[in-house]
Homo-oligomer: A and B are copies of this chain.
Amino acid sequence: MTVVAPIPVDCTMCAARSNGLCKELTDCELAKVRQARSGDRLVPAGSDVFAPGSHCHTIYNLVDGWAFRYSILEDGQRQILDFVLPGAVLGFCSANGSGSTYGVQALTNVTLCAIPKEHFLSLLRDVPEMGIRLTWLIARDRNLAYDRLSSIGKLSAREQVAHLILELFIRCHAQWPNHAINEMYLPLTQEHVGDAVGLTSVHVNRVLRELREEGILEFHYRHLRVLNVDRLVDVAKIDPQLAVQWSSKLHEPSTLIYLDPAARDMAL
């Protein structure tokens, strides 16, 4: 379940280095990070990195794989708060008394770089650039949450599903720019989609059929194929002012695509 592994990756070629907390650290600063690491973990798909309500004494850098934050309501319903990709920082939650209000679960097998909290705090003081970077990453999460809040609050089921898929589509491309353009592995079930946007999986299914019949996208068994990006952007009700040229990565050179705040930050 919770495998404590030998150091799974070298700091110098880690996703957190290009994307995450350690971005643009000097070799000297990186050495301090390496020293603070201990208890790195491999978590298999479907298991919790940490459970809701648990006391998390460790900060994790997600090095490889997909995961999601979620909370459980009184009646057992699950709300997915956001999906996280390599470079994300997990476990920085209000650390007083009552444990984290949310949990994190692995969607695929996941590799984590672990830094015990007490080391982490002194690291923050020691390497101020890392503190500023952390603030940025958390502000990005906040923006993503705000974005989803607008989506859940005001959009129809159809628009919401399109919005979520487009968000993930764009974030993937920003993260792995060399992958295939219109097809991708998206390790979610329709139930995950529903739990993220506040719909039942049954209704998500109906919406996906609609979008498939309209030739906009196909999403079967974790395989996503986007057939018409422009119409997807349109259905997702993305603010056109936020649409950004992405011609370099798409077949159609004139295609405009939305780059949400998160993706934009990642792209930088």
Chain A contact residues, CB within 8 Å of chain B: 53, 69, 71, 73-75, 77, 79, 81, 92-94, 96-98, 101-102, 124-125, 128, 131-132, 134-136, 138-143, 145-150, 152-155, 195, 197-198, 237-242, 261, 264-265, 268
Contacts and interface: CB of A to CB of B under 8 A. Distances in A.
A135 to B, nearest CB: 5
Given A93-B139, A94-B264, A98-B264, A77 B154 contact: yes
Contacts of A149: 79, 81, 145, 148-149, 152
A146 B94 contact: no
Given A132-B131, A149-B152, A197-B153, A143 B98 contact: no
A150 B80 CA distance: 8
Given A98-B242, A128-B125, A128-B128, A73 B268 contact: no
A193 to B, nearest CB: 12
Given A145-B142, A265-B94, A237 B73 contact: yes
A138 B139 CA distance: 6
A161 to B, nearest CB: 14
The 4 A-B residue pairs with the shortest CB-CB distance, nearest first, are A153-B198, A145-B145, A79-B150, A142-B142
A25 B131 CA distance: 17
Given A73-B154, A75-B237, 8 more contacts: A93-B143, A96-B265, A98-B242, A125-B128, A141-B142, A142-B142, A149-B149, A154-B198
Contact of A92 (B139, B141, B239): B139
Contacts of A145: 142, 145-146, 149
Contacts of A102: 146
B94 A140 contact: yes
